[in-house]
Amino acid sequence: MTFTQMAQYVLPPLAVDAARWLLAGRRRPRSEAGCVHIHYEVIPEWQPPKEGTSTFDFAVAQRAVDWELGVPVVRDNLQALRLINLLEATVLDFGCGNGHYQAILAACSHTAKWTYTGVDSQAEFVQFCRRTYPTSCFETVEAGQPLPFADNTFDIVLASGVMQYIQNAVLTLAELRRVTRGYVLVSRLPTWKYQDSHIVMQYLRGGIGEEHYPLHVFNRCLVEDLFAQLGLAVLWRDYGSEFFTLAGEREPVTHLVYLLGKVGAPMVCSRQGSSPEASGHIHEEVKKGRLPLGAFNFR
């Protein structure tokens, strides 16, 4: 497996694009380009990232939709979105990056009539998206601040490969629930079953320079309890196409895909195929007010 093939499984999307450009566009010598080391370490508290995308070529983001449709992560998300039986819908892409899901959703028959809106904290990315997809709405948002939308604005919120890189995941999830009237799709969420939640630093060293990114690795039970406390019912869960390992840990960190429904929302309660038992359990947990937010140890 080449580095660029491996990168789509373990790196942030922008780092993947930067790596592809540096390895292919600049045609670095094979010995230099191939010596890329990736590892993860548990750290005691959240630390600022050292980003390596300042030389990012936005032309790389204009890949053919057919190529995107073959990416495992994209296939994971589309599989989950097909479970939502809506011919027309409004969708918010939270952390839209290069905006490629605008083209992806438009290319799929199930989502072709959905109205797309994208938001990102990087103004440069939003400007690129506005130029590339002028018929869609893109907004710059500030990390940790309320989204510039009224309650119940969107039918669906997509958060793909985003939540683990946000320092205060609790506040962000609550905000995503506020702006949706129905569903939140959280995907590429790194979890493990038997270990506690941790903050981890992802290090990249080699031909693409040196970078590091802090991220959350969630205990699966705790994060699902968090969903429940925030009023989000787990309608569907599946293993994604990615995983990584931490030195000294026998359990791998797997990426999960969660289709969440807003508890009490009419469009979710009427959804065919949802589990009454699961929904009832979530309602009871929310009513009882169990599991204080402090138990999640998010900094």
pLDDT (0 to 100) of residue 38 = 81
Helix (H) or strand (E) holding 155: strand 154-160
Query: How confident is the prediction for the chain on average, in pLDDT?
Result: 81
pLDDT (0 to 100) of residue 60 = 57
- In contact, 14 and 202? CB cutoff 8 Å: no
Q: Which pLDDT tens digit goes with each residue over 250-265?
A: 999 999 999 999 999 9
pLDDT (0 to 100) of residue 62 = 72
Using CA atoms, how far apart are residues 83 and 105, in angstroms rounded to an integer? 14
pLDDT (0 to 100) of residue 154 = 98
- In contact, 56 and 18? CB cutoff 8 Å: yes
- In contact, 5 and 34? CB cutoff 8 Å: no
CATH number of 3-293: 3.40.50.150
Q: List the single range of 172-176, 186-190, 208-212 with lowest mean pLDDT.
A: 208-212
Q: Which pLDDT tens digit goes with each residue over 239-297?
A: 988 899 998 899 999 999 999 999 999 888 654 344 433 334 333 433 444 333 333 33
Confidence of residue 193 (pLDDT cuts 50, 70, 90): very high
Confidence of residue 59 (pLDDT cuts 50, 70, 90): low
Helix axes 220-229, 169-179, angle to 10 degrees: 40
pLDDT (0 to 100) of residue 270 = 52
Residue given tokens 């941790």 in the structure block: 198
The fraction of the chain above a pLDDT of 70, given in percent, is 73
pLDDT (0 to 100) of residue 252 = 95
The residues near 192 (Cβ < 8 Å, ≥ 6 apart) are: 217, 218, 219, 220, 251, 252, 253, 254
- In 248-278, which positions are buried (b, 16+ CB within 10 angstroms) versus exposed (e)? eeeeebbbbbbbbbbbebebbeebeebeeee
Domain residues of the chain, as ranges?
Answer: 3-293
pLDDT (0 to 100) of residue 191 = 97
Is 0.85 surpassed by the pTM of this model? no
- In contact, 184 and 174? CB cutoff 8 Å: no
Q: Find the mean pLDDT for residues 40-55.
A: 82
Between 60 and 87, residue with greater pLDDT: 87
pLDDT (0 to 100) of residue 64 = 86
pLDDT (0 to 100) of residue 281 = 39
Q: Is the pLDDT of residue 184 over 90?
A: yes
Residue given tokens 């990584």 in the structure block: 244
Q: List the single range of 54-58, 217-221, 277-281 with lowest mean pLDDT.
A: 277-281
Q: Is the pLDDT of residue 232 over 90?
A: yes
Using CA atoms, how far apart are residues 21 and 23, in angstroms rounded to an integer? 6
Confidence of residue 205 (pLDDT cuts 50, 70, 90): confident
pLDDT (0 to 100) of residue 254 = 95
Q: Is the pLDDT of residue 228 over 80?
A: yes
